[in-house]
Structure 1
Amino acid sequence: MSATQESASEKPWPYAAGYDNCPEVLEPIPLKVKGTIPLWLEGVLYRSGPGTYDLDTESGKQVHIQHWFDGLAQLHRYEIKKGGEVSYRSRNTSNDLRKRYQKAEAVTGVTFCQRDPCKTIFNKFFTTFKTATLGGPPLGGTDTNVAVIPSPNFPGLMDREHRNVEQKSDKDGKSDRTVLRNLVMNTDGNVMQEIDPVTLEPIRLFTYGDIDDSLKASNLAPAHPCIDPETGEHFTVLLTFGPTAVYKVVRTRASSKGTHNEPDLDVIAEIHSPRPTYMHSFGMTKRYVVVTHWQCDFAAWGVSVLWYGNAWESFKAQDRNVKASFYVVDRVRGRHVATFECDPYYAFHTINAYDDGDDIYVDLATYKDHTVIGDYYIDNLRNEASGKPPQQAVLRRYKLSKISEHAALSALTRKTPPKPAPAEVVFQLDESINFELPSINPSRYLKSYQYVYGVNRSGLNKTLIYDRIIKVDLHKVAQGDQTTSTKFWIQNQCTPSEPVFVPTPNGTKEDDGVLLSIVLDGRRRTGFLLILDAQTLEEIARADMPEGKVAPHNFHGMFVSN
């Protein structure tokens, strides 16, 4: 499907538009549809990520946000209506933070990767001392950047009047938890942002400490929570910095007094480690939470974040002598029952995990180390002439064996953590077939599965990031077939985002469904919503953005069916 490559001298560079400021579209606009959208495909695709990198101030000075991960949050809403019509709207969701940067004429506060070589040693010491002793500023308005991933139905949030929907039940009386009762944005911190799911207006910021006072001191949480689709329980792992890092595995669920009451929150396990680590995601099965403790460690017990003002400069270099760990927590008994170790690696995304008898399988998109984070500085990604392609991830499966045996041993020695056992690498996709931003059929979450979708960098286009959508047959990879285990979609000078799988109603096969991806069309410097057949990766339809409306390179998405 790749068109003839255009001249390298063509200007402007077609991929740079994904890192331009993206204007809001506050009222829905119609998109022009090409092809035929399936009659059953009706609902809303939410996409989240950065939308602003460059700010003008009253004095005429420009403030430049240096890193992709620090771009100011923007949320996008693509609504697919009955009859195949598509509309689009978007909204910036951190405007108070934007105003703070503009007033200060600088990026202020703690960020992920913003570097400030002009800060003096005295200023660093004063800021670190003040924050460590007095704490950070109180949350309010939209003064925090919460841009990573939307998630539905956080327990305990009140339904808004104009979208109050009674929870549906099927013929067996089981509740349908796909009904959208509220929408929450997550990021790599102990903070969430409630969003109006129709207008995209920010409603409020809140933390786990607002639900339980004992969690106010927790510093970080993975941006990706784990949500059990059958029980509606939300799980996260809260990290508290200190000489001994404390990881609290937290379960939040609807109150037994009713959904309009404060949620029930339980810390089901605490894990102590000498390594405070940045974790973007973790794993879960029907029976266990799997804390994926890879190597991306903060120096000086985490205080280094305050010293540098950003996470990136505070990370230690990788140590090949320090193992990565998997901590297995029993969801029912609420106990750390097993620990497994393997050679060091780094990851952003846990793809899926599931139980198989007494074993656990965990699939991840793994990197050799965390230096990949430094590859995503905007000046590098905008650089046509000499920009460096980011380090690429490899799809890998780990096996954690004989959990009940480890649990029995740990029960006898409750005062000491479980003795580590080796984690086995079952297989990995060939390193030449890189893989990131995973998506699966949601009906296979926490279960054994065959297909996973993501994005891939082919090297055929000049883009520094992804230019293909990839489908992987994990059964074939497990059998050693690296040749026919993958399929791709590619179009010249186009940059796809994470594909979101939407299953066909009453589908009989795991890959019955469609993929939704927001694609930057560099040739026209605009974007489109792409709809692919999930079995063949052939295009079914697309909905074109108007000329001049650019789809920025964003992070993650979620589809809510009507």
Structure 2
Amino acid sequence: MSTKPYLIGHYTPAVDEITATGLTVEGSLPPELTGRLIRNSHNPKPGVTPTHWFKGSGMVHGIRLREGRAEWYRNRWVRTPALDGAPYLTEHGPDLTASTAGTHVVEHAGRLLALCEANLPFELTRDLDTVGAYDFDGKLRSAMTAHPKTDPVTGELHFFGSSPFPPYLMYYVADAKGQVTHSFEVPGATASLKHDFALTRHYVVFVEGTVTFDPTEHSGIPYSWNDDQPARIGVMPRGPEGAGEVRWFPIEPGNMLHAGNAYEDAQGRIVLEGPTVDREGFQLSWNWWVGAPGRGTEPNTRSYNRRWVIDLAAGRVDERITDDLAVEFPTLNEDFLGAENRYQYAVSFPDQDGYGGYGIVKYDRTTGTRRVHQAGDARLPSEAVFVPAAGATREDDGYLLTVVSDLKQDASQLLVLDASGLDRIATVHLPRRVTGGIHGSWIPDTDTGTDASDS
């Protein structure tokens, strides 16, 4: 039996692909939840032990809801060359198709894309079968971030490609029809790890933390903490004219994997939030990711929500930790992406001292308070995906969808929570325990053109 923490417990890989129909529902599913919840996970094939959690091959899990029914669950490996052992580095350089495709899955312009930040995206069918690598009709000339952003106003998809070698950072925008309208190299970027970024109505916001390229790191993910790497935030005007106007602001050492949101406040300052780790937290987390001694007990250790306020006029950044609960995977009502949001959601983890526990957290940024839906003993929830309610009038009128791994029952459920009070509305019982995973998306039928005759 493996002792790698990312191959045991909640993260034990599924060994096969299944399809199950007519799932059991407790409670009442809101009829507007008509679509698919698709979630990704690192899930190596049986007999394969990756050297890093992030090196595990991608497996997508889908749950189909329609008008109060849970019609099916299915899981499928993303069939990339890497699934069959193809190397990323070849004698001709990186193979951008040799992807794990195991970090995220998003929909844009009718295409369902499985993502890994070191590679090209992989297109999937509605039933989660693999179509193949997708390069935006040849206009994507680099890897693609696993965290693209869809502008809720314009429908544009904003994304970047980062590399440990020049060009370090490429920026892309695709219109609502999926056509890349402009792309360029972002000046002044370094080899610092850039996993996520943020948008406001007028700016693109990049974060370079204290983790950077390290050729001596042999886990397959060549990055490590480096005190000589300056931590900073880059602010660039949106649009093709922004290429030469990026400004970099120094911040405290740390590393942010995921941005909660960013916006411009009434004073014209940019407010950015996201969980960050310090040096100790990063090292404990990294040791978990590679299965090294001295690791934390969870994949995210000492990860606390942080707020940066960037004063462009004064040329300074004020920052502070806003909570003492260990959290990751921040989400929000994405109608507020790039605009001031009151509510933010996250997954909580017990910290290195045993404080906290598994749960879904709701932050009220106006009152500074938090509410927690405790998952229960040996129950790990996944990233909480927000879905607006029909006729919503408030920011938190909607539902949170989270897939829970239950070790005691060796089972999983899809929980539907009221996003306002975090009360459980419905439970969908799944036919297997779903591997603890990373990111996913709710894809309503209106986004894919699916009608009542579709599977």
Report TM bin, short chain.
0.7 to 0.9
Alignment match, 2:182: 266
* 1:227–1:486 distance in 2 versus 1, CA, 3 Å: same
Give, in whole Å, the separation in 1 of the partners of 2:96 and 2:339. 40
Aligned-pair CA distance for 1:248: 2.3
Give, in whole Å, the separation in 1 of the partners of 2:188 and 2:330. 30
Alignment equivalent of 1:551, drawn from 421, 434, 438: 434
Are residue 515 (structure 1) and residue 400 (structure 2) matched? Answer: yes
Aligned-pair CA distance for 1:476: 2.0
* 1:80–1:400 distance in 2 versus 1, CA, 3 Å: same
Aligned-pair CA distance for 1:42: 1.9
Give, in whole Å, the separation in 2 of the partners of 1:372 and 1:152. 33
Are the equivalent residues in 1 in contact too, given 2:307–2:322 (CA < 8 A)?
A: no
Give, in whole Å, the separation in 1 of the partners of 2:252 and 2:426. 44
Alignment match, 2:99: 144
Alignment match, 1:204: 132
Alignment match, 2:332: 440
1:433-480 CA distance string (max 9 Å, x none)? 112111111211111011111111246998x99611111111122xxx
Alignment match, 2:316: 422
Report the identity percentage: 23
Give 1:271's aligned amino acid.
P
The structure that is helix-richer by fraction is 1
Are the equivalent residues in 2 in contact too, given 1:470–1:488 (CA < 8 A)?
A: yes
Are the equivalent residues in 1 in contact too, given 2:121–2:135 (CA < 8 A)?
A: yes
Are the equivalent residues in 1 in contact too, given 2:17–2:77 (CA < 8 A)?
A: no
Matches within 5 A, 1:213-362: 216=141, 218=142, 220-242=143-165, 246-253=168-175, 259=177, 263-268=179-184, 270-273=186-189, 275-299=190-214, 304=215, 308=218, 310-311=220-221, 314-319=222-227, 322-332=229-239, 333-335=241-243, 336-357=245-266, 358-362=268-272
Give, in whole Å, the separation in 1 of the partners of 2:133 and 2:232. 32
The structure that is strand-richer by fraction is 2
* 1:451–1:272 distance in 2 versus 1, CA, 3 Å: same
Q: TM-score, normalised by structure 2?
A: 0.86
Are residue 374 (structure 1) and residue 299 (structure 2) matched? Answer: no
Aligned-pair CA distance for 1:18: 2.5
RMSD value, Cα: 3.0
Matches within 5 A, 1:370-519: 370-377=282-289, 379=291, 388-389=297-298, 390-402=300-312, 405=313, 421-425=315-319, 427-431=320-324, 433-458=325-350, 467-477=358-368, 484-519=369-404
Are residue 76 (structure 1) and residue 31 (structure 2) matched? Answer: no
1:289-321 CA distance string (max 9 Å, x none)? 11111221113xxxx28x84722xx334331x6
Aligned-pair CA distance for 1:543: 0.9
Give, in whole Å, the separation in 2 of the partners of 1:192 and 1:439. 22
Give, in whole Å, the separation in 2 of the partners of 1:377 and 1:552. 15
Larger radius of gyration: 1
* 1:391–1:135 distance in 2 versus 1, CA, 3 Å: same
Are the equivalent residues in 1 in contact too, given 2:75–2:128 (CA < 8 A)?
A: yes
Q: TM-score, normalised by structure 1?
A: 0.71
Are the equivalent residues in 2 in contact too, given 1:245–1:276 (CA < 8 A)?
A: no
Give, in whole Å, the separation in 2 of the partners of 1:80 and 1:325. 42
Give, in whole Å, the separation in 1 of the partners of 2:367 and 2:58. 39
Aligned-pair CA distance for 1:26: 4.3
Give, in whole Å, the separation in 2 of the partners of 1:510 and 1:485. 16
Where does the alignment leave 5 or more consecutive residues of structure 1 unmatched?
Answer: 1-12, 56-62, 101-107, 111-126, 155-180, 407-420, 478-483
1:352-378 CA distance string (max 9 Å, x none)? 111224211111111113425423337
Give, in whole Å, the separation in 1 of the partners of 2:351 and 2:171. 40
Where does the alignment leave 5 or more consecutive residues of structure 2 unmatched?
Answer: 446-455
Q: Secondary structure at 1:230's aligned position in 2?
A: coil
Give 1:471's aligned amino acid.
K
Matches within 5 A, 1:80-91: 80-91=65-76
1:186-236 CA distance string (max 9 Å, x none)? 111241101102x2111111346x623xx64x4x54321122122222222
Are the equivalent residues in 2 in contact too, given 1:455–1:466 (CA < 8 A)?
A: no
